[in-house]
Chains A and B, each alone.
Chain A
C-alpha cells in the first residue's frame, strides 16, 4: 500500500548574515527514509516535534515532492499523480479541518461527496453508517465553525471516508481531544481497520493511541527511521525503564538501594531509575523500611523520552 525507498526532503534555507550577504544552508527534514506498509495494516508514526513526521505525511499525500528517492502510495507517485491519489486515500489533519467553515456539516459532507464523485445511493448508505458510528446526528445541521473540536474531528473523519478510501492517513487525529472524543475516535479507527480492512497510518504524540491501536510502530527521529517494529519490542528494548519520584521527609544524600540508580536530587525529592524487570513494589517496600517517605510517584517513560533514548543509544534498534 505504501512503499518508501530512500526518500529525502531537503529545504534550502537562506539566512541574512550581514547587510547584504545571505548564506544558504540546506535543512534535511527527511533523509534516506525507507519503509513499507502492507494492505490492511495499522501503523503508528511517532517521533518528537520536528523529527520529520509531517514532512513524511506530506510526501505520502503528494503535498510535497521528495527531493530524492521514491514514494509510492496505492501504486501511484503521490506528487505527480496527486489528484488520482486523492480519490483513493482519505487524509485527516488534526490541526486543521478539511471541512468548509461556514457550511453546516451535512452540506460540507455533500460537497465532499460531489468533489469525490460518490454516487448518490452509495453516499446515503455510507453517510448513514458513518453518522451512526461517529454519532454525528446531533450536529449534522450545525455550521462547522460552531462545532466543538471533538465534533469537528468526527466530521473530518466522516468527510475523509465518504469515498471509501483504501488508505486513511491521519496527522495527529487525537490532538486536543477530551477523553470521551478520543475514545470514540480510537474505537472508530479500530473498527474501520478490522471490519473494513482499511489501511491506517497515523502520527501521534499520544502513547495511548499507539497502545490501543497500532500493532506496528515506526519512529522517525532527525528525519531518519529510528525504529520499526511492534510496541512490545519497543518497550522491551528502550521503554522498560521507569522513573520513581520519591519525596522524603527531609533532604538527604542520594539514596542507596541495590539495582537502582539515582537520577537527580532536588532537596527532599529524588528521582530513581528502575531498570526493566525490577519490581516497583519491592523497591518501595525497601525504601519505606529505611526512610521516612512522604510521597511516591511512578512514571512510565514518556514517548519523547523513549525516542530520545533510542536515538542517543546505538543503532542496534534501527530497522532491520
Chain B
C-alpha cells in the first residue's frame, strides 16, 4: 500500500512536470477548467435561488448532501478518474508496457497524464460546503462533527472502488473487441467505441447511486438529525465505512480477476 502511494506520488509529479513542457497549453487548459468550475458553482446557486426547499429539506441541508457527495466524487475522480481509459490502453497496447514495470498498473493508469489542473474539480464542492456548513441549524455534537469527514472519506473510498470496478469491467468489454480484432485486424473496432461509452455511463449511473445512499444519505440524516423517510433502522446511519469497505473489496477482487483475463492485443 505504501509502495503504491509512493509510486503514485512519483508518477503524478513526473506527469505534472511533463505537462509543464507545454506551458501555453497548460495555461489555456487551466483557464478552461476554471471557467467550467465557475459555471458549475453558478448553476448550483441558480438552482437554489429558485427552490429554497426541496422535498422538505432546506437549501443548506440539500447543499450539505450535494457538497459531501460531490467532494467524495471529485477526490476519487482526481485520484483514479483516468482508469476509465483502460479499454483504450489495452487496445493501443500501452497497458502491456505498464504490466512489465514493477508498479501496480492501476497506479500507472490512474496517474496517466496527471496534471495539477485536476484539483480544480474540487473547487465547486468546496465552495458549496463552505457556504452550507455555517448555515445549517444543527446541534453540533462531537459525533456529528466526526461524521462529516468520515462520510466524505467513506464516499471517496466508495467512488474509488467503483472507478476500479468499471475499469475492471473493461477487461471483459474489450474482450469481445479483441476477439473480432483477431480476425479483422482492427478494422471493425471503431464501430464499437460508442458501446463502451454507453456501458461506462450506464454503469456509472446505476452503481454510483445505490451504495451512495448508505455512504452519503444515511450519515447525512444522522448529521441533520432527521428521521429516515424510508424508515430504515437508525443503525443504517453508521454502516457507511462497512459499505465502502465492501465495495472496495469487490473492486479489488474484480481488478485481479480482470488482470488474469487480460488478453492483450496483437504483437
Residues of A within 8 A of B (CB): 11-15, 27, 49, 53-54, 58, 61-65, 79, 82-84, 86-87, 91, 93, 95-98, 100-103, 107, 111, 114-116, 143, 171-172
Q: Take A63-B99, A98-B101, A100-B14 as given contacts and tell me if A13 and B183 are in contact as well, using a CB distance cutoff of 8 Å.
A: yes
- CB of B58, distance to nearest CB on chain A (Å): 49
A53 to B260 Cα, complex, angstroms = 20
Residues of B within 8 A of A (CB): 7, 10-11, 14, 17-19, 21, 93-94, 96-97, 99-104, 176, 178-180, 182-183, 260, 262-264, 266-267
Contact call B103/A96, Cβ cutoff below 8 A: no
19 residue pairs bridging A and B, Cβ less than 8 Å apart: A11-B182, A11-B263, A12-B179, A13-B183, A54-B266, A58-B96, A61-B99, A63-B100, A63-B264, A64-B263, A98-B100, A100-B18, A102-B18, A102-B21, A103-B14, A111-B11, A115-B102, A115-B103, A143-B21
B97 CB contact (under 8 Å) in A62, A96, A103: A96
**B6 to A, closest residue via Cβ:** A114
Point out the residues of chain A lying under 8 angstroms from B19, CB to CB: 102
Contact call A58/B260, Cβ cutoff below 8 A: no
Mostly, the B contact residues are: helix
Mostly, the A contact residues are: mixed
- CB of A147, distance to nearest CB on chain B (Å): 15
Knowing that A11-B263, A15-B179, A115-B102 are A-B contacts, what are 9 other residue pairs whose CB atoms are under 8 Å apart, sorted by A's residue number?
A: A15-B183, A64-B262, A65-B262, A83-B102, A84-B102, A86-B100, A98-B97, A98-B101, A111-B14
**B180 to A, closest residue via Cβ:** A15
A49 to B267 Cα, complex, angstroms = 9
Contact call B94/A116, Cβ cutoff below 8 A: no
- CB of B173, distance to nearest CB on chain A (Å): 13
A269 to B136 Cα, complex, angstroms = 94
A61 to B88 Cα, complex, angstroms = 21
Contact call A114/B99, Cβ cutoff below 8 A: no
Contact call A115/B101, Cβ cutoff below 8 A: yes
Contact call A65/B267, Cβ cutoff below 8 A: no
A298 to B46 Cα, complex, angstroms = 82
A172 to B97 Cα, complex, angstroms = 15
- CB of A304, distance to nearest CB on chain B (Å): 15
Q: Take A14-B176, A65-B260, A102-B21 as given contacts and tell me if A107 and B14 are in contact as well, using a CB distance cutoff of 8 Å.
A: yes
Contact call B102/A93, Cβ cutoff below 8 A: no
Point out the residues of chain B lying under 8 angstroms from A115, CB to CB: 7, 10, 101-103
Most buried by A among B11, B14, B102: B102
Q: Take A11-B263, A63-B262, A83-B104 as given contacts and tell me if A107 and B183 are in contact as well, using a CB distance cutoff of 8 Å.
A: no
Point out the residues of chain B lying under 8 angstroms from A58, CB to CB: 96, 264
- CB of B89, distance to nearest CB on chain A (Å): 11
Contact call B264/A64, Cβ cutoff below 8 A: yes
Contact call B96/A93, Cβ cutoff below 8 A: yes
A114 to B14 Cα, complex, angstroms = 11
Contact call A86/B102, Cβ cutoff below 8 A: yes
Point out the residues of chain A lying under 8 angstroms from B14, CB to CB: 100, 103, 107, 111
Contact call A171/B18, Cβ cutoff below 8 A: no
Point out the residues of chain B lying under 8 angstroms from A86, CB to CB: 100-102
Point out the residues of chain B lying under 8 angstroms from A49, CB to CB: 267
- CB of A111, distance to nearest CB on chain B (Å): 5
A13 to B264 Cα, complex, angstroms = 13
A264 to B10 Cα, complex, angstroms = 62
